[in-house]
């Protein structure tokens, strides 16, 4: 790949490397940057499909992909540093957080938890109580909840501790619509996931030169890592 195509994004590479060095201080900035340069080399077609867009759109898409690349690299290096396999990592999903919240907020018995996908990179299902990870997960969810602002905590508590419908949450919080209450809770859960270990990195295959579908330019789901 022509280095000039990468050079114009040096400021983005540097910014993302610094951001993830702060989050994973065991990872050196030059090593993170090297991983980000590799993304460009591995995705020439994706980059070409983005270069025809406006500079702002291209920058946003590159930022998103480089953050995903940096997160994946830093998770791998963290696992290597601490002496475990990356396949042993698990990632929180909205389903997991929402099912664990009543247990955390109400102090419910662990054997009442439903069967959940624990988010391990290798897949598989089971109950958190059987996995041996439930105490850690509850601790993570609690930390994520405590990191929310006052209004988000209130919305989450009403929804998952008190089982309020969204219409009631909207009325209690003086929101305009039921959908506004739903979105507040959804955003709060998303922020809890960010504060509890983060999202599973997305796999980004390179686009074919003639495949510039708009679907490739969108995050795969509302909870995607940004």
What angle do helix axes 55-82 and 29-42 make, rounded to 10 degrees? 120
125, containing H or E segment: strand 125-126
For the stretch 142-152, pLDDT in tens is 888 998 999 99
Residue predicted with more confidence, 37 or 88: 37
- Say yes or no to pLDDT of 1 above 70: no
Residue 155 pLDDT level (bands cut at 50, 70, 90)? very high
With bands split at pLDDT 50, 70 and 90, how would you rate the model's confidence at 124? very low
Assess contact for 1 and 48: CB atoms under 8 A. Answer: no
Residue 216's pLDDT is: 36
Q: How far is CA 128 from CA 118, 125, 191, in A?
A: 7, 9, 22
pLDDT score at 76: 83
At 95 the pLDDT is: 85
Tell me which range, 2-11, 107-116, 154-163, is most confidently predicted by mean pLDDT.
Answer: 154-163
Q: Which CATH architecture has domain 92-195?
A: Orthogonal Bundle (1.10)
Phi, psi of 126 (to 5 degrees): 170, 175
CA distance 38 to 34: 6
Q: Rank 18-27, 77-86, 110-119 by mean pLDDT and report only the highest.
A: 18-27
pLDDT at 80: 78
pLDDT at 58: 95
Average pLDDT over residues 28-43: 95
Minimum mean pLDDT range among 16-20, 70-74, 157-161, 175-179: 70-74
Write down how long the chain is: 226
Domain assignments of the chain as residue spans, ordered by start: 3-84+207-217, 92-195
């Amino acid at each position: 790949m022509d280095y000039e195509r990468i050079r114009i994004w040096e400021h983005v590479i540097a910014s993302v490397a610094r951001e993830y060095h702060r989050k994973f201080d065991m990872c050196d900035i030059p090593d993170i940057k090297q991983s980000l340069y590799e993304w460009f080399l591995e995705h020439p077609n994706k980059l070409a499909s983005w270069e025809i867009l406006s500079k702002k759109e291209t920058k946003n898409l590159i930022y998103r992909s480089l953050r995903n690349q940096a997160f994946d690299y830093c998770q791998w290096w963290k696992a290597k540093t601490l002496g475990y396999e990356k396949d042993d990592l698990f990632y929180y999903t909205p389903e997991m957080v929402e099912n664990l919240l009543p247990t955390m907020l109400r102090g419910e018995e662990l054997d009442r938890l439903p069967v959940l996908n624990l988010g391990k990179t290798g897949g598989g299902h089971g109950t958190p109580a059987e996995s041996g990870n439930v105490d850690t997960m509850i601790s993570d969810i609690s930390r994520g909840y405590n990191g929310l602002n006052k209004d988000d905590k209130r919305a989450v508590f009403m929804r998952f501790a008190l089982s309020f419908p969204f219409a009631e949450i909207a009325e209690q919080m003086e929101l305009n619509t039921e959908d506004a209450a739903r979105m507040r809770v959804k955003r709060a859960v998303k922020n809890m996931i960010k504060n509890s270990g983060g999202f599973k990195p997305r796999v980004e295959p390179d686009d074919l030169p003639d495949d510039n579908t708009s679907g490739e330019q969108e995050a795969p789901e509302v909870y995607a890592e940004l």
